[in-house]
Each structure stands twice: as structure tokens, then as C-alpha cells.
Amino acid sequence: MTEPLRCRGWRQEGLLRLLENVLAVGEKPDQLIVYASLAKAARDWPSFHAIVAALKDLHEEETLVIQSGKPVARLRTHAQAPLVVMANCNMVGRWATPEYFYELQSKGLIIWGGLTAAAWQYIGSQGVIQGTYEIFAAIAERHFGGSLEGRLILTAGLGGMGGAQPLAGVMAGARILVVEADEAQIDKRIARGFLQTKATSLDEALATPGSIGLLGNAADIYPELLTRGIVPDIVTDQTAAHDLLYGYLPSGYSLEQWRELRESEPERVMQDAGLAIAREVSAMLEFQKRGSIVFDNGNNIRSQARQFGIADAFDIKVFTEAYLRPLFCQGIGPFRWMALSGQPADIAALDDLVVQEFPEQARWIDLARAHIPVEGLPARIAWLGHGQRTQLALRANALVAEGKIGPIAFSRDHLDAASMTHPNIMTENMRDGSDAISDWPLLNAMVSCSSMADLVTIHSGGGGYAGYMTSSGVTLIADGTEAAGQRLRLTLDNDTGLGVLRYADAGYELAQQTAERHNLGGIGRFDAEGRPL
């Protein structure tokens, strides 16, 4: 049975349930922390309760405005306007430094919203699992004849993002060793079904099949593997290396010592963490020289290593440029949907619909059904492209209208074609040199507002929580109404369409062909007379 509404309608109720869900699947819900050491759902508990109260009383003709996790206004707008708009961790360029962020945070003036944490779009480790799987599958296709059977993946980090890695590796057919310094995280991933085995020594880990969580520090384990002459087939890392104070345990520290020294000697902790990261990245570079396929998984580890003396850290390619950019050129990215009823049967019905509408997704859906556990609200993620997302959402909205399933929330990761600028992750080495131009995610958010999305966000932060990236997020509630159908059609078409045009404008032929095929009408490229190319 679906729980009764506490709000004035399903649009508001859906957003409230998503806010509650990110804490239900979060890493430290008692501190409002969802993942990545510091990404929060709300600024503080009074702000959280004020958001909940506002959502419960919010009228269709109002918009709730949230600034870095704190509600600041309920503005009278109109029934087609977003119900919630928010901005998190956006700092003026010259002041966007980790040190100033920490100062503002200590004063209670700002939070780091991560990507999907403060946007209430996180769905647990399953939210990133297909992206990780797609990377492994692309590596298999390019380097290993299409299969990872019998191959060894080495990685680190079993937090809210990294926790998807072991299951993705197994789903891709590989054996995967994940180094994690916090035993509680290993136990959590085993309990949640994302990890098979725990090991407390390297010898034990090397003798174990499947997915293994090895208790240890990557800065120590990676060099030790080199000393033993062991060269994994694939090497990466998904620790919270983007943050030197809260995210990466320095080599030689216990967890207790780390927590104490963060408060009493933060500069020492950051220095020691940076040196440990440098050791790990040096080992990754050596693995690469010895034949491993090595990639940066988007946690800013290369930037940290370069600041601590590893001049060639960027000889390691980032995953987006190396493996995913052709998908983004087609508007294909991490689309997700959540059953607001809490009923797994609603997701099962949409699984059937995905396979029916997009047969090429059948293998992924079969794998997801077989392997991915439910965390919080039943949910699914699939890498769907321009037009496909709209098609699925409209069909789902019709099923809601017919009473066959309950209301569904649709969202996506912020790491999508038009919605992120990060010169060391998403937009590294863009063909036209536009790596650091943040106009696109800002335009994306404005277009989502213009298209009547239910929730729209603009976030900044990333490595060190300041200055590294800008992103936008969007959420839509399919409640079975005609108005929901209009919002879904406009927002999803415009969201992915702008993504294709962003890459077409940067000179990618595949994106230009995709834009032409879908008649997207881009006018950004001109001949000498100003005529559109």
C-alpha cells in the first residue's frame, strides 16, 4: 500500500519522499551527510525540518527557494513553475578556495551539495553502478576482446560512490579487489549486497575469487602489489580523494587518530593525505607503464597528486574522455527513476517497459534485476539518450494515469551531457578548448526552469569543495496528469537536446550527426557569412 499523502499533491509529496530517501540510503544520516565525506541533504536539522514543513504546505502556484541547504523563501509563481529551485556551494571565482569554503561552512553559511545529495536525487550505490559498468564494458571491448572473464580489477574506496564498484566489476565478468580503510564500509557493502567477501590481509585477498573488500590503505597496498610483481589488468580509484581533510585517510593513521587530528592539526592531516595520494598515484602510473589499463574515476586524485609533486599525474586519462564521450555526444547518460509508492512491482513494470521499448537495454536490465539490491525507494538507472528518456517517461506517466503503477520520479546524475563543467572530469580536453566554460550547466538549469521541471538545481564545488566544477540537476514527478506529461516532454527533450548541441558546438562529428538526425536546430556554428552550418 502506498503511504497517504502528507502534501497538497504528488509533485510536492514526491520531492519530500526523495529528500527522505537520500537520508535513508545515505552514509551518515544523523549528520545529514549523504556521501563523499561532506555532501549533505540540508544545511542543518532546523533547515531540514523547515524544508519538510514548507513542502507539506506548498501550493502549486508557489516555488520554494533553497540556498545551500537552507530554505529562504516561498515565492508566489504559477502552476507551471518549478516547485523547488536551489543553489548549493556557488562561490565567486576568486574566493572559491577550499580554505574559504571551510570557513564559510564553519559559520553555517554554506554546504557542499555534492551532485545528487542536496538535490535529493541520490539512490544509493545503484545510482552510479551502470556508469561504472559501462566503463568496464568499454574497456573490455577496446582492450580485452569484449570480455573481462579472468581479468583482475584493482580499485579503492567503498563509500557512497565507490560502493558500486565491486558489484559492477562482477556484473562485467571480472574479479575485483577494492581497498578500503574503514572496515565498517566493507561490512556495509556486504550487508547491502554490493560486495561478496572481506579480507584483512593482501595474501588473503589475492587468494579470493569474486569481489573482495581488502581492509587497508591504498597508498600502502598499491605499492606493495608492485613490489610483488602483480600487475592488475585494470586499475583505478574511487576514494574521496577530492578532499584532503575529510576524504582520504593518510597512510599510517588510524581512523581514531585521523578524526582527532582533523580538529587539532588540520594542516598536518591535509599534508599527510596529499603525500599518501601522491604515493598511490605514483603506483598507478607504474601499473600503467607495466601494461595495466589505468583511468581516473572522477575523484580529483590526479590534481591532488600533481600538487604534491607528481608532475606526470595527468598521464592517466579520466574516464569520461577515455570511454564515455561518444555516449554524451548522443545525449546518452545516467537516467534514473524512483517508485514513489515504495513498491518494487512498479520498477519491475518499468523494467518490462524498457526492454519492450529499447531491446538493446535487455542485457543491462537482466543484470540489474539479477544483481542490484533495493536501497530505500525502489529505483532503476539506465543510460538512455535523446528521445528515449522522453519516450519512457511519457509511457510511465500513462501507466500511472491508468492506475497500473504508482507515481514515478525521474531524474539523472549531474554528470550528463549538458549539465556539468569540470575541466578535470567531465570536460577535460574538449575538442574546442572549452573545458572550463561553465555557461552550459547554467543554461541547462535555466532551460529546465523554462520547461517547467519540478525541481532544478545549480551546484558548484567538487575537489576540495570549491572552484572545481559547476553542475545542474533536474527532477520531474510523473503523477499521471496531462500537466505532468507536458513537463516531462519539454524538460527531457530540452535537457538531452542541449547536451547534444553542447558537444556539436564543440566540434564533435557524432554530436553534429545526432543533432541533424533529431532536427535539434542548433545554430551555434556559422560560416563566414553568419549562416548556420
Model pTM?
0.89
Is residue 1 in a domain?
no
Other Cβ atoms less than 10 A from the Cβ of 213: the count is 30
**69-76, long-range: CB within 8 Å, 24+ apart, which pairs?**
69/32, 69/40, 69/41, 69/42, 69/43, 69/44, 69/111, 69/113, 69/118, 70/42, 70/43, 70/44, 71/47
Number of domains present in the structure of the chain: 2
What's the domain range around 233? 126-323
Is residue 402 in a domain?
yes
Q: How long a stretch of residues is the chain?
A: 533
Is residue 528 in a domain?
no
Contact yes or no for 510/326 (Cβ under 8 A): yes
* Sequential pLDDT tens for the chain (533 residues): 568 999 999 999 999 999 999 999 999 999 999 998 889 999 999 999 999 999 999 999 999 999 999 999 999 999 999 999 999 999 998 899 888 998 999 999 999 999 999 999 999 888 889 889 999 999 999 999 999 999 999 999 999 889 999 999 999 999 999 999 999 999 999 999 999 999 999 999 999 999 999 999 999 999 999 999 999 999 999 999 988 999 999 999 999 999 999 999 999 999 999 999 999 999 999 999 999 999 999 898 999 999 999 999 999 999 999 999 999 999 999 999 999 999 999 999 999 999 999 999 999 999 999 999 999 999 999 999 999 999 999 999 999 999 999 999 999 999 999 999 999 889 999 999 999 999 999 999 999 999 999 999 999 986 566 678 999 999 999 999 999 999 999 999 999 999 999 999 999 999 999 999 999 976 665 566 666 66
Do 97 and 64 fall within a single domain?
yes
The CATH number for 286's domain is 3.40.50.10730
Contact yes or no for 299/242 (Cβ under 8 A): yes
Is residue 501 in a domain?
yes
The CATH number for 336's domain is 3.40.1770.10
Is residue 4 in a domain?
no
Do 269 and 361 fall within a single domain?
no
Do 198 and 136 fall within a single domain?
yes
Do 308 and 423 fall within a single domain?
no
Is residue 157 in a domain?
yes
Contact yes or no for 243/465 (Cβ under 8 A): yes
Do 76 and 103 fall within a single domain?
yes
Do 386 and 449 fall within a single domain?
yes
Last residue of a domain, which of 323, 351, 370? Answer: 323
